[in-house]
Amino acid sequence: MGAHVNTTINGDAVEFVCAPDESLLDVLRNRIGLTGAKEGCGTGDCGACSVILDGRLVCSCLVLGAEMNGKKLETIEGMADGAKLHPLQQHFIDGAALQCGICTPGFLMAAQALLRKNPDPTEEEIRYGLAGNLCRCTGYDKIVRAVQAAAKEMRG
Amino acid sequence: MPLDQDLEIKKFKVIGTRVRRPDGVDKVTGRARYGADTSAPGQLVALVLRSPHPHAIIKKIDISKAEKLAGVKAIITSADLPDLTNGDRAMLDILENCMARKKVLYDGHAVAAVAAIDATTARAALKLIKVDYQILPHVTDVDEALKPTSPVIHDHIFTDGIEPKPTKASNFNKQAEYGHGDLDAGFAEADVIIEKSYKTEQTHQGYIEPHSCLASVSPDGAAEMWVCTQGHFVYRNQCAALLGLDANKLRVTASEIGGGFGGKTHIWTEPLALALSRKANRPVKLTMSREEVFRCTGPTSSTSIDVKIGAKKDGTITAAFAELRYHGGAFPSNWAEFGAMTTWACYDIKNCKSLSKDAIVNRPKTAAYRAPSAPQSCFAVENTIDEVAKAIGMDPVELRIKNAAKEGTKSSYGPVYGPIGIGATLQAAKNHPHMKAPLAKDTGRGMACGFWFNFGGQTCVDLNVTPDGTITVAVGTMDVGGSRASLALAAAEELGVPYEAVRVIVADTSSLGHNDMTDGSRGTFSSSMAAVFAARNAITILRERAAKTWEIPVDDVEWVDGEAKAKGASRGNLAPLTLKDLAKGAGGTGGPIAGHSEIVADNAGVSFGTHICDAHVDKETGKTTITRYTVIQDAGKAMHPSYVEGQYQGGAAQGIGWALNEEYVYGTNGRLQNAAFLDYRIPVCSDLPMIDTQILEIPNPHHPYGVRGVGETPIVPPLAAVSIAVTNATGVRMHHIPMSPPRILKAIKSAKM
Amino acid sequence: MAGGASSVFIEASTIRELFRKLSEEYPGMEPHIKRGVAVSIGGKIYRDQLDTKLPVSSEIYLLPRVPGG
């Protein structure tokens, strides 16, 4: 029996049917066509599938699609304001905070969630705020700096 | 215009600037498409059945029940992958690794694969396949595998490199020896001799993107594959050969790649996806789980290394010997030999030797991991050098400077060095503020230097001038971390146009000639060289077109700052022809304007780096925290400094993970115990400090801009630098990495006894 | 491989000629050359350019082709 779900994704009303054991990540990627969230592990260890669910940062591989009824979801695809990139996105490009880029959507979601809660984080707070996301290319240095630069710009 | 590989010293306009990468926006908005991000009409989902045993004979595989399950469209075993290798044992080993034939050789070895209408059906089908195994004794430790009592994994392996060749099969597949001089005489001259043994554990590249491919084979033999890979041309060649397809009919497109570091230089499940697609006559998508990535792809070797160094009181190393034992997983390999070649490469030692022993064990096939084999030998050598420095009371940096290789030194692996950067990186380390900074309590400082060969190889670039005068560049060497930006910089530099006027893509296998993989730190080195030559070829044509337009000899046309200019006083009235003018008029002057380049970019030039590390050790818990880290490395010329820094920082972080946490843990049952990121712990953001970098630029004489490869060397020194820092923090020499808290506590405890 | 010798004298003007003569004189070397070796001439490493000219009286090293990450 499939679950019939009505939800909001990046401000748009979305309706889908999914299997009861299907993860939100699989629903996003395979049913809705939003492949920005990545599966790096499927066990909540890597953060590449991070999305913001009712204001909370979650691994979409650990949430069921069937739980989404009436919820509000934000994914990487909704981060930019039309053609204008979010300051975090712009600073990731300008600061070379990505190499292969597979972890980037997850990092941007996590950084977004962090800066909403704490607009002026210390380096340590950034490092712990992003500790649920794995990056294997950068050594995190340029990611932390990009978040610092974006936070500064966003504070104005 | 001569296409000379040799360096031209000139003032750059755009090379060396920190431009925005062309794939940046796609990658921060979720638009970039990686291996698993595409699908085809009517595609099936494939899953692989894997052995739970490390070593067993496959007596029977019964697929009859699985075949009958509704929604199952194809099932394959080794019977569907006949041996077409025509006596090429190396290719047969690749095929056998992709799918077990008579025996399974490691926990996770593929035995069958299923394509079904969805993942749920495919999972159910795997459960219905019955495999009858006859379990054999196994061996997973490299030293155990080399013992005569070890269970023999392959009955066709007789040790190479020992004469006479043994007549009894064993797991000892190769011995090799490098070095020169007279060891006995050298050790006799020494005032101090240090002899130590070391062990390193097996690690994985840990790329965040699991392997994924989408294969589609048509009944007429034409096939397409979308795949994450470091070398789509090599994947094309190997898959076509193993499946009996014509290479020209298998079109492979490289997706964006979510990390590789050597792990995506080998084919793993791609032939299975193609065989399933051929059998089902439908597109097949095969994506590995993270557990499969750990169990069944290609981690690095675990090693066991003995080192002996003799030195005079003034610091001169008089003799050095190392025996290195590495394994290639379940197949024969040269990993210990490559370790032996790198062992003494940083130093100028009169009498040195390294002896390698390559072994076969019941673990997954070892693959390249960033400067493969070098970090382990560097760990053993640099710790012993550090011990020598302590024994004779000399500063460890000074000791290294005194013995460093230089131009004209006969390297331990044979060749004589040209201009090299080891001395410069050591001097820079000596003078770096990090070296003089005060240390906190329970914190130690370590430094180490490392070497990697680097290479070039076969490369194609096509450069096209579009009708509006902008430039497209197609390259066949995969971009794994930003090289498209560097190629655009090279084309812009040559043509004299803005960086933004050039767009670079990675082309599929049907669009260009063969390209080698992105490995050996060759990506930017080789492709930028080809891009420079392609641009110069295009400039030749642009000058010809201007000459035609003006009806003057081509020798009277020069290309300056993106424009054709007529030379000579009498031609002062001819307004320059811009790229835009020439592009617009191309139809009337001979057709489309393009530049091509097909090259072998040999002569990449060896690479050296020196790292400095501060490590704090909590002596109660054994936990190590890296408090400061500096990477100093020669880049030849940094085309895009941000991405060079990124390579230095990323390599250091991987090395720190290897030094402190990462480790394959096998149970006595021969099964991998920690095939998940939770238990195989790579460094996270809160584990690391900022990683400082210093880029030295000692131009490579064999690249038009002086570029050297930079990608691999940064992982070589960290194992040594971190362990020496821990040793200096605890007062106990660390002989076994990773230096996990229990291992550090044990070392501290046994030192007290 | 080369009858137990670790160094031999060969007259050749290019890498291609060197490989051909080595294979003829020391058949044990042939499989190694076919599998792929790198050549070091005067400290520079060549993996593919078989037309490369060998300088007079030069010392040439045959090395295994190193893989990379």
Say if C27 falls within a structural domain. Answer: yes
Would you say B287 and A130 are in contact if contact means Cβ atoms under 8 Å apart? no
- Is the model's pLDDT at A113 over the cut of 60? yes
Q: For the complex shown, is ipTM > 0.95?
A: yes
Clarify whether residues B448 and B475 are in a common domain. no
- The predicted pLDDT at position B2 comes to 41
C9 is a domain residue = no
Chain A, residues 100-119, CB within 8 A of chain B, namely: 100-105, 108
- Contact (Cβ atoms closer than 8 angstroms) between residue B633 and residue B454: no
Are B312 and B446 contained in the same domain? Answer: yes
Report the pLDDT value the prediction gives residue C5, as an integer from 0 to 100.
Answer: 63
Higher-confidence residue of A95 and C59: namely: A95
Helix (H, G, I), strand (E, B) or coil at B737: strand
Tell me B554's DSSP state.
Answer: G
Average pLDDT in chain B: 96
DSSP string, B440-488: -TTEEEEEEEEEE-----EEEEEEEE-TTS-EEEEESS--SSSHHHHHH
Q: Closest Cα to residue A80, out of A93, A69, A89?
A: A89
The answer to whether residue A84 scores a pLDDT higher than 80 is yes
My answer on whether B449 and B460 are in the same domain is no
pLDDT band (50, 70, 90) for residue B164 = very high
Q: Which of B203, B331, B603 to mutate to test the interface with C (most CBs of C within 10 A)?
A: B603
Which residues between 54 and 73 in chain A have a beta carbon less than 8 angstroms from any beta carbon of chain B? none
10 Å Cβ neighbour count for B315? 18
Q: Does residue A137 register a pLDDT over 60? A: yes
B472 with B571, same domain: the answer is: yes
pLDDT digit string (tens) for B21-45?
999 999 999 999 999 999 999 999 9
Please, which chains are in contact with A (at least 3 CB pairs closer than 8 A)? B
Q: Which chains does C contact via 3+ CB–CB distances below 8 A?
A: B
Residue ranges of domains in chain A: 3-76, 87-155
Q: Distance from C19 to chain B by nearest Cα, in Å?
A: 18
d(CA B411, CA B405): 8
Tokens, residue B416: 């004589």
**Residue B672 within any structural domain of the chain:** yes
Angle between helices A87-94 and A104-117 (to 10 degrees): 130
What's the CA dihedral at B325, B329, B330, B336 to 10 degrees? -30
Tallying the residues shown for chain B, one arrives at: 753
The residues, any chain, with a CB within 8 Å of residue B202's CB and separated by 6 or more, are B299, B300, B301, B302, B363, B663, B664
pLDDT in tens, B93-123: 999 999 999 999 999 999 999 999 999 999 9
Strands (DSSP E) contained in B585-698 are: 593-600, 607-617, 624-634, 691-696
Mean pLDDT of chain A: 97
User: Are B192 and B317 within 8 A, CB to CB?
Assistant: no
If residue B356 lies in a helix (H) or strand (E), which one and from where to where?
Answer: strand B352-359
CATH number of the CATH domain containing B549 = 3.30.365.10
Half-sphere exposure of B303 (CA within 13 A, CB side): 39
Q: Tell me: do B591 and B526 sit in the same domain.
A: yes
**Contact (CB<8Å) C67/B338:** yes
Q: Please give the Cα distance from B117 to B44 (Å, whole number).
A: 5
The residues that bridge with B737 in the sheet, in sequence order, are B200
Note whether residue C42 is domain-resident.
yes
Please tell me whether residues B492 and B581 are part of one structural domain: yes
Q: What is the pLDDT of residue C33?
A: 84
Query: What percent of chain B has a predicted confidence (pLDDT) above 90?
Result: 94
- Which residue of chain C has the CA closest to B518? C69
Give the CATH superfamily of A3-76: Beta-grasp domain (3.10.20.30)
Could you tell me where the beta strands, DSSP code E, fall in A19-114?
A: 50-53, 56-59, 72-74
State which residues form the domain around B700: 303-454+605-752
Question: Cβ contact (<8 Å) for B371 and C49?
Answer: no
Which chain A positions have a beta carbon within 8 Å of B210's beta carbon?
39-40
Inspect the structure and tell me whether chains A and C have 3 or more CB pairs less than 8 Å apart: no
Residue type, B162: I
- The answer, for B529 touching chain C at a CB cutoff of 8 Å, is no
B688 vs A39, A139, A145: nearest CB:
A139
Whether residue B502 is found in the same domain as residue B552: yes
pLDDT for C58: 82
> Tokens in use for A141?
């240095």
A80 to chain B, closest Cα gap in Å: 7
A&B contacts, CB < 8 Å? 179
What residues of B are in contact with residue A89 (Cβ under 8 Å)?
Answer: 25, 28-29
| Structure-token pair, residue B319 | 């003799």
Residue of chain C minimizing CA distance to B453: C66
Same domain (yes/no): B585, B615: no
Q: How many domains does chain B have?
A: 3
Q: How far apart are CA C8 and CA C22, in angstroms?
A: 9
In a domain, C6, yes or no: no
Last residue of one domain, picked from the residues B254, B287, B320:
B287
pLDDT tens per residue across span A7-57: 999 999 999 999 999 999 999 999 999 999 999 999 999 999 999 999 999
B255, B283 in Cβ contact below 8 A? Answer: no
pLDDT of residue B262: 97
User: B376 in a domain, yes or no?
Assistant: yes
Q: For position B3, what pLDDT does the model report?
A: 59
- Which of B163, B263, B456 comes nearest C4 by C-beta? B163
pLDDT class of B398 with cuts at 50, 70, 90: very high
| pLDDT, position B9 | 65
Q: Which one has a higher pLDDT value, B211 or C46?
A: B211
Question: With an 8 Å Cβ cutoff, are B372 and C67 in contact?
Answer: yes
Stretches in chain C below the pLDDT threshold 70: 1-5
Has residue B668 got a pLDDT over 50?
Answer: yes
> What is the pLDDT confidence band of residue B1, given thresholds at 50, 70 and 90?
very low
Closest CA to B453 of B417, B404, B406: B417
CB contact under 8 A, B368 and C69: yes
Residue B182 has pLDDT above 50, yes or no: yes
Mean of pLDDT values over B191-219: 98
- Residue-level pLDDT at C48: 81
Q: Are residues B363 and B275 in the same domain?
A: no
Residue B293 lies in a domain: no
Q: How far apart are CA B355 and CA B413, in angstroms?
A: 11
In this structure, of B35-39, B93-97, B209-213, B521-525, the range with the lowest mean pLDDT score is B521-525
Chain B CB contacts of C45 under 8 Å are 415, 453, 455, 602-604
Tell me, yes or no, whether B643 lies in a domain.
yes
Contact B398, B294 (CB under 8 A): no
CATH topology assigned to domain A87-155? DNA polymerase; domain 1 (1.10.150)
| Residue-wise pLDDT tens digits, B345-373 | 999 999 999 999 999 999 999 999 999 99
User: CB distance A96–B677 less than 8 Å?
Assistant: no
- Is the full-model pTM beyond 0.95? yes
Quick one: pLDDT at residue B571?
82
Cβ contact B406:B417 at 8 Å: yes
Q: How far is CA B51 from the centre of its chain?
A: 28
| B-C Cβ pairs (cutoff 8 Å, strict) | 89
What's the number of domains chain C is made of? 1
What is the rounded average pLDDT of the residues B429-448? 98
User: Residue C69 and residue B519: Cβ atoms within 8 Å?
Assistant: yes
